Structure 1
Amino acid sequence: MSKVEQLVVLGATGSIGLSTLDVVSRNPERFAVFALAAGKNAEQMAELCIAHQPKFAVMADQQAASALSNLLANSSCNTQVLAGVDAMCELAAHIDVDAVMSAIVGAAGLLPTLSAVEAGKKVLLANKESLVMSGQLFIDKVKQHGATLLPIDSEHNAIFQCMPASLQNTSGLLADNGVSKILLTGSGGPFLKRDLATLSSVTVAEAVAHPNWSMGQKISVDSATMMNKGLEFIEAKWLFNCCASDIEVVIHPQSIIHSMVQYQDGSVLAQMGNPDMRTPIAHALAFPERVDAGVKPLDFSQMADFTFTKPDYARYPNLKLAIDACEMGQGATTTVNAANEIAVAAFLNGQISFTDIYRINAETLNATQNINVQTLDEILACDQAARVKATEFVKRGIN
């Protein structure tokens, strides 16, 4: 009987965190929750602590931590409550921890994820910004510290599953292992067929209504602009040690084929499944074994047709911008990611229109000079500078 793996869930109250805890609860003989970390949702965190009894819980700030402590005061839960990024970093690297689910949205997830990597943990990566911002640095640290990196995004997890064993968790070259191309699928979001002339009038409610996936607001907007696919494109470059020219984006509205790998002999391997994040989470948690994820298998007799098209960059300029940034280098991808976080927040707050998201992202990238970044300090400074610029462009558009 193998020992029960101790797990830290960063971003516990988000959709990935909750799906992770669902898989864990289905496999109590395999996994236990050592620590949970979240932003400011103390009420939901209290429920999770009572349900899963972690040793530690970390909130983003002291105010949220105090609220959580008060909520747990009269319960049977003995979880120790902490606050701040330093505490998240410390727990992600804790000697008793086996695996860390990195599911904090945005740049905020970078430092705790790096902490887990530097401690040589099994890192389940749902925080794509970690690689978009610090790809080379991140991958170098994975190798240096002997960490195991397993992708959680459904697309990257699909690619990982379709890769030859010789490329899973190694840094070999695709061509040396018979692979000719990575085919990254995307649904096209809710505006795949919408009249281009009407995109500027898209409402927040329309933008967050994804046809296939249940996701948070930020990632839903990114899916609507296809910036999400752009960020995944950048992430794939680092995860699979390849060039931008090795990756091709394919629009597949049904979201049943999660991605594909094309081989030199003409074979194409695809990973398929219902659009439920518990499948990639369960795959990564138990890798190289398999466990129950609570997901129904596909019923092929109930399926309609599959369709595939090339992305239209006039409809999805953010996708093209991200691919261009990928070819430009680390500073460019860090800049675009930071600008996009500011622009999407401004759209969700009703400050800018849907099509302004691209304008702000492009203007911020164009206004950024000398973006050769290598160290963590340089990456964080580049991220901060881009946020300042993007905020200026938001304000300029409002006035």
Structure 2
Amino acid sequence: MTQRRVTVLGATGSVGSSTVDVLAGDPESFAVVAVTAQTNAAKLAEIAKRLKAKRAVVGDPSAYEDLRAALEGTGIEAAAGASALDEAAAMPTDVVLSAIVGAAGLKPTAAAVRAGHDVALANKECLVCAGEAFMDLARRHDANILPTDSEHNAIFQLIDGTDAADIGSYTLTASGGPFRTWDAEAIASATPEQALKHPTWSMGAKISIDSATLMNKGLELIEAHHLFGIAPDRLRVLVHPQSLVHAMVTFLDGSIHAELGAADMRRPIAHCLYWPRRSRTPIKSLDLSAAPSLSFEQPDPERFPALRLAQEALRRGQGAATVLNGANEVAVAAFLGHRVPFGSIARIVEETLMAADREGLLQVPASVEAALVLDGEARRLAVDVLERQ
């Protein structure tokens, strides 16, 4: 059996670690070309050795010596810097798993697309920041974009072989985060420690905060719009605390099809890495007879205004999603740094969007590079807003 060549961008993060487990569990099926991280040279070296990668790259040049020393004598090539990340993404391979967090993942992921590689996409900012340009780039270079987020992977599976004209709406589910049952006053004063305690998923800090504000689900709506060409008015969100149903599609005849599975990121990752075939994995199958009762409820836009802002940005288009994402990254970092309260995150994003509108910045980015420029402008405005808090 021919091995499938894989490159992992962002190998030391939460999604990256799950990807490493999948790859290490089936070395006969996969040959790892390159693995990357931003700063964690020690962990990256361990991963590179475990997966027998050809190259390991850290984005931070100051971490290069640590990486080189840790890999000395292994035959694994060490490199560092932004250009080295792009080069790793473009190395001959069959699929690139993009798990770099935030807008920082856009440039190397675009490099993978330009090389014509299939991309298993776990970096939603590629589509939130540069949706139209990114998907156009993928079409021009004949690169398949394989959705790795559990919700989008669920839709990917649900619509396989169906006629889009037969589908009325698409529903993404949200766990509701740690503050699902809290009142507005308590949510506004929540601490970073409380916000990081996600009830279902084990994730990195940034996405955990986005899940607590429900911004993550708003970003996923924008991502789904670009991935599947779904009109904004056909996208729905339901809060589903058990996190067993990941997405649903409702057909015109009223039939609802749902994708269920254990809350384990290795499942959608494996689906993308083995695509278009399926294979056995060590992931435990969901036992419905032992599963808790399934419940669903509408999200509350008053207690979770970040979701409303994302939905408004999606409907508006014109670069609003790019500004939304950049401002949110600034606001979340400020919250994690104890510089603003939890309740200020959505307010900073909203004020940044208004400032960008006043400056005439809400234009559709014509390219990935233009999206990065607009992202920088959004961060500048968000910092101005932050300093006035």
TM-score range, shorter chain: over 0.9
Which residue in 2 is equivalent to 1:182?
170
Paired position in structure 1 for 2:71: 72
Aligned counterparts of 2:151 and 2:57: Cα–Cα separation in 1: 29
1:87-126 to 2 correspondence within 5 Å?
87-94=84-91, 96-126=92-122
Structure 1, residues 196-229: CA drift from partner, whole Å, max 9, x if none? 1111220111101000000000000000000000
The answer as to whether partners of 1:335 and 1:383 remain within 8 angstroms in 2 is: yes
1: CA distance, partners of 2:42 / 2:215 = 32
Q: Any conservation in 1 of the 2:314–2:320 contact (CA below 8 Å)?
A: yes
Q: Which residue of 2 aligns with 1:19?
A: 18
Q: Distance in 1 between matches of 2:224 and 2:236?
A: 11
SS at match of 2:340: coil
The answer (yes or no) to whether the contact 2:153–2:268 under 8 Å persists in 1 is: yes
Residues 276-316 of structure 1 show CA distances to partners (whole Å, capped at 9, x for unaligned) of 00000000111121123321111122122111111110111
Tell me, yes or no, if structure 1 residue 388 matches structure 2 residue 374: no
Number of the residue aligned with 2:123: 127
Q: Give yes or no for contact 1:23–1:292 (8 Å, CA) kept in 2.
A: no
Are the equivalent residues in 1 in contact too, given 2:64–2:79 (CA < 8 A)? Answer: yes
1:81 aligns with 2:78: yes
Give the aligned residue type for 2:143. A
- Measure, in 1, the Cα distance between the counterparts of 2:288 and 2:63: 46
Identity of aligned residues (%): 46
Q: Distance in 1 between matches of 2:10 and 2:75?
A: 20
CA separation in 2, counterparts of 1:58 and 1:215?
23
Aligned residue in 2 for 1:264: 252
2: CA distance, partners of 1:87 / 1:292: 34
Cα distance in structure 2, aligned partners of 1:186 and 1:281:
19
Counterpart Cα distance in 2 of 1:225 and 1:294: 33
Answering whether residue 377 of structure 2 is matched by residue 377 of structure 1, we say no
Corresponding position of 1:244: 232
Secondary structure of the residue that 1:271 maps to in structure 2? strand
In structure 2, distance between residues paired with 1:281 and 1:339 = 29
CA drift at 1:330: 4.2
Secondary structure in structure 2 of the residue aligned to 1:297: coil
Paired AA for residue 80 in structure 1: E
Q: Deviations over 1:333-391 (max 9, x none)?
A: 00000000000000000000001001100000011032113233321221001101111
DSSP-derived class of the 1:100 partner: strand
The question of whether the paired residues in 1 share the 8 Å contact of 2:102 and 2:123 is answered with yes
Q: 8 Å contact 2:107–2:368 — kept in the other structure?
A: no
- Following superposition, the deviation at residue 166 of structure 1 comes to 5.2
* Residue type at the aligned position of 2:373: A
Q: Distance in 1 between matches of 2:376 and 2:25?
A: 41
For residue 253 of structure 1, the aligned residue among 241, 255, 259 is 241
Count of residue pairs the alignment pairs up: 385
SS in 2 for 1:233: helix
Match of 1:345 in 2: 333
Aligned to 1:170: none
Q: Report the CA distance between 1:36 and its aligned residue.
A: 0.4
Structure-2 separation of matches of 1:330 and 1:249: 23
- How far does the alpha carbon of each residue in 1:76-108 deviate from its partner, in whole angstroms, 9 at most, with x for none? 4211111122112122122x3111000000001
- In structure 2, the residue matched to 1:308 is 296
* Secondary structure, aligned partner of 2:178: helix
Q: Within 5 A, what are the aligned runs for 1:19-38?
A: 19-38=18-37
Structure 1 residue runs of 4+, over 4 Å off?
A: none
Q: CA RMSD in A?
A: 1.2
* Letter of the 1:51 counterpart: R
1:149 to 145, 150, 163: 145
C-alpha deviation, 1:8, in angstroms = 0.7
Instruction: Give the residue type in structure 1 aligned to 2:123.
Output: N
Check the 8 A contact 2:171/2:236 in 1, yes or no: yes
Which consecutive unaligned segments of at least 5 residues does structure 2 have? none
Residue 135 of structure 2 corresponds to residue 139 of structure 1 = yes
Displacement after TM superposition at 1:194 (Å): 0.7
Contact 2:131 2:226 in 1 (8 A): yes
Report if aligned partners of 1:53, 1:78 keep a CA contact under 8 Å in 2. no
Gaps of at least 5 residues in structure 1 are 168-173
Deviation string for 1:252-291 (max 9, x for gaps)?
1110001111111222111111100000000011112112
| SS, match of residue 192 in structure 1 | coil
Aligned residue type for 2:241:
P
User: What CA distance in whole angstroms lies between the structure 1 residues aligned with 2:326 and 2:230?
Assistant: 23
Q: Is the partner of 2:83 in helix, strand or coil?
A: helix
1:171 matched residue in structure 2? none
The amino acid of 2:338's aligned partner reads G
